[in-house]
Structure 1
Amino acid sequence: MAKRKGLIKVLVDSSSGRILGAAVPGIEGDEVAHSLLQPMAAGTSYEQMMQTVHIHPTVSELIPTVLAGLKPLE
């Protein structure tokens, strides 16, 4: 898609590792949001989502990179 800018924010419970929500505005944000719905509904941890291999080329393949960069809220 040749896009270099975007925003993906994911909120994770620090004790359980469960994905609580996400904000994905922009091009193909719906694809990323849908990819996050499954682990949210299943109650799996963000660590399990990081280990998932996403198809290429999609915006969803950025999810493991985003999750690897999680930081505590200040």
Structure 2
Amino acid sequence: MSTKPEIIMPTDEEDAAINRGIAADPDTFEVSTEGIKKMKRLGQRGRPRAESKSTPRSRSENRDDSVGRPVGR
């Protein structure tokens, strides 16, 4: 038994009602095929890559042993 939910596609009547609602909404529009072809990616998604690889430190290396606080505070 699959744990994925089953996708139920709208009927033709429901699809027509959805499209009428989209057409009636002044804040939205359908993008044409030509418009999609003109679109450009904005760039990479997510966090930028680091300039250099860092080496992991242990917690004890980041502490000032005399005070027990992180170094620099």
Richer in helix (by share): 1
TM-score bracket, shorter-length normalisation = under 0.3
- Max radius of gyration: which structure? 2
TM-score (norm 2): 0.24
Larger relative CO (CA 8 A, sep 6+): 1 or 2?
A: 1
